[in-house]
Amino acid sequence: MASVRLLSYNVRSLRDDPAAVARVVRAIAPDVVCVQEVPRFWAWRLKRRRLARACGLRVAAGRRACGLAVLAAPHVRRVAREFHLLTPDAGLHRRALAIAVLEAGGVPFIAASTHLDLADAPRLRHVDEILAHLGRARARYRAPVVLAGDVNEDPGGESWKVLTRHFQDAYAAAPAGGELTFSARNPRRRIDAVFTDPSIRITSCGVPIEDETLTADYPKATDHRPLVADVDVGLPETPAAHASALPDRWGEAEGEPHREDREAMPRSPRPGHIASASERVGLDCRKHVT
């Protein structure tokens, strides 16, 4: 059994205060972060690496498309990663699923990040596609699944109902802290969620609201509040020897880029370099995805 703290966080392309994003993440001290709306335009890979570095984490999964990433703490071993584009819709933002197969304390699990559409029909269709991708990953790696992200729908919606037929809604199972995740300044909706396989024990889930210094950073950092889930991941019934036997796939500290995403980029700061938090993260001034 391994205890894992997972954070789901929509960072709005770091358009607000990247240093505040890093402060929030460091204060929460997650083992894994499923991120939505990470930078995806100019110098996107460098900005993601700077974000991860500023948070004391490494990039475990994600590609340029769709602004998704999974970050993991140094003690969490990456076994594999996948990235799946979901079916497109004319005039709408492309959606995707980023998957990191991880191992904590010798126990394998899958952390997946997604960001669903504002439109009902594409959102519902994409949920079915996500379930299919995660079902194949669960079988391939013999590991339980945690899915986190911006659902863009309140509990009780059709997409939410489909997800909760297959997963546990972590907040509903073990509420702790705040419930509402949007907006950061004036929260009125719960549109961010963490879903887990039934085999995963949920200890607590919610928005941290006790620390006033931390909550003061929420509206500075982005337009969503951070959603934190503490879970216990146990060895699956099927032996995990296959996943454990795979080599650690980090490559360099922040992970090698996918072949499809290779492009010229500025050299990352050397490991010993110390810079301000805003310097390390940088800004993405392009239009963000809602």
Position 249 scores a pLDDT of 54
Tell me the percentage of the chain whose pLDDT exceeds 90: 78
Nearest CA to 90 out of 62, 121, 132 is that of: 121
> Residues 108-138: pLDDT tens digits?
999 999 999 999 999 999 999 999 999 999 9
Nearest CA to 280 out of 267, 269, 264 is that of: 269
* Gap between the Cα atoms of 285 and 47, Å rounded: 12
Instruction: Specify the DSSP element, H or E, that contains 70.
Output: strand 68-72
Query: What is the number of other CB atoms lying within 10 angstroms of the CB of residue 199?
Result: 14
> Residues 133-176: pLDDT tens digits?
999 999 999 999 999 999 999 999 999 999 999 999 999 999 99
**Hey, what are 55's tokens?**
């948070």
* Gap between the Cα atoms of 186 and 195, Å rounded: 24
pTM (2 decimals)? 0.83
Residue 231 in contact with residue 200, Cβ under 8 Å?
Answer: yes
